[in-house]
Amino acid sequence: MATAAGVLIGMMPLTAAGCLALWAVVFLATRYVSLASIAAAVALPVFTMLRLVTGSLEGWPYFYFATAACILAVWRHRANIVRLMNGTESRFVRKPKTEPPADQPSENK
């Protein structure tokens, strides 16, 4: 996904920004990295088509690339999709800061 994102930033930076914004919204709402990635991938051809229709992007090869990237990303996430449907996909959680053991002195003096 990172390589595709890099290519997307080089080819269509505005579309990449839209996908990144959608990724962030879905991730913050659900804490599922995989769901956010799938949502961004599915939105990629939609955002590309909108830019083609409005004239802010020229050239159908961009849409073909976006569609192929979407299909590939969803295909690569098929195991994550199964886990999401089963409710077994891992969420992103921050690890709590641990206190030093009581028998060890703290570094703050």
The predicted-structure confidence for 26-79, as pLDDT tens digits, reads as follows 999 999 999 999 999 999 999 999 999 999 999 999 999 999 999 999 999 999
Confidence of residue 12 (pLDDT cuts 50, 70, 90): very high
- Number of C-beta neighbours around residue 45 at 10 A: 20
User: b/e map of 3-36 (b: 16 or more CB within 10 Å)?
Assistant: ebbeebeeebeebbebbeebbeebbeebebbbbb
Hey, where are the domains in the chain? 2-86
pLDDT at 106 over 70: no
pLDDT at 101 over 90: no
* Residue 28: both structure tokens together: 């913050």
